[in-house]
Chain A
Amino acid sequence: MNDRIEKRIELRASVSRVWRALTDYREFGEWFRVKLDGPFVPGQVSRGQVTYAGYEHLKWEAVVQKMEPERLFSFTWHPYAIDPKIDYSKETPTLVEFKLEQTASGALLVVTESGFNKIPSGRRLEAFRMNDGGWTEQMKNIEKHVAQTP
């Protein structure tokens, strides 16, 4: 079974510029849409608040693994742990790695996220709910519609 996601993206920016965007907690927060409490430190928990529209009530939490300057940044987390009532800390987290390489035109960024086969099947439903077409949302719409047009 496919257990990982891999993304490759060419960026027209220097490796050091991209490194800063990845590892400076304020810059990371800008594009990842999260307001972090403080800098990333290997071995330490990074906490913050999601700023992605519609999900502002969610907390962000990850454990920083490696920071090898301009080469590798990694953390573990519980992807889309969106139900505030569930304690996700008992689940095996997935590992996210950002690898950087210099290219003629800038930088190549390879992102991998692995370890999905350890996520309990119940969680997949939540991801599904979080999706724009999620059932819960759809059902709320139907409920609203039904209530308005008796």
Chain B
Amino acid sequence: MSRKRRSEAAARLQARAPIFAALGDDTRLLLVAKLCGGRPHSISQLTEGSELTRQAITKHLRVLERVGIVRSIRRGRESRFEFAPEPMEGIKEYLEFVSEQWDQALSRLKSFVEN
């Protein structure tokens, strides 16, 4: 990896530091693991099997919501939470990704025709 690429990768990781920080907690990690199956959960469902109160669980969910990997949806009087990581840098990241795929494909083409 070139120095430029490495520093870009570092910058991307740095931008995600708040997310890693939010995940650096056993309770929150467990909540994310429960939600990452894709189905929204109510606070009661998320509190089940935990020694923590609804209030404590709600507080942890808000932390995850603030960094943008969990989203709450209101249904009547109840809030449900779902795992919803947003694309970090939108189109820029997408183009970088496609661009990288081309680099790999073309380097395979190069060894294919030159050998």
Q: When each residue 1-30 of chain A gets 1 if its CB lies under 8 Å from chain B and 0 otherwise, what string results?
A: 110010101011100011001100001001
Q: Which of A128, A130, A131, A139 contacts B32 (CB 8 A)?
A: A139
CB pair B102–A7 under 8 Å, yes or no, is yes
Question: How many residue pairs at the A-B interface have CB separations less than 8 Å?
Answer: 96
A109 within 8 A of B: yes
CB pair B36–A111 under 8 Å, yes or no, is no
Q: How far is the CB of A113 from chain B (nearest CB, A)?
A: 7
Q: When each residue 113-126 of chain A gets 1 if its CB lies under 8 Å from chain B and 0 otherwise, what string results?
A: 10011010101110
Q: Which of A17, A32, A113, A142 contacts B113 (CB 8 A)?
A: A17
B52 within 8 A of A: no
Number of A interface residues in the complex (CB < 8 A): 41
CB pair B102–A113 under 8 Å, yes or no, is yes
Bound state CA distance, A12 and B114, in angstroms?
Answer: 6
**Which residues of A does B touch, CB under 8 Å?**
1-2, 5, 7, 9, 11-13, 17-18, 21-22, 27, 30-33, 79-80, 109, 111, 113, 116-117, 119, 121, 123-125, 127-128, 130-131, 135-136, 139-140, 142-143, 146-147
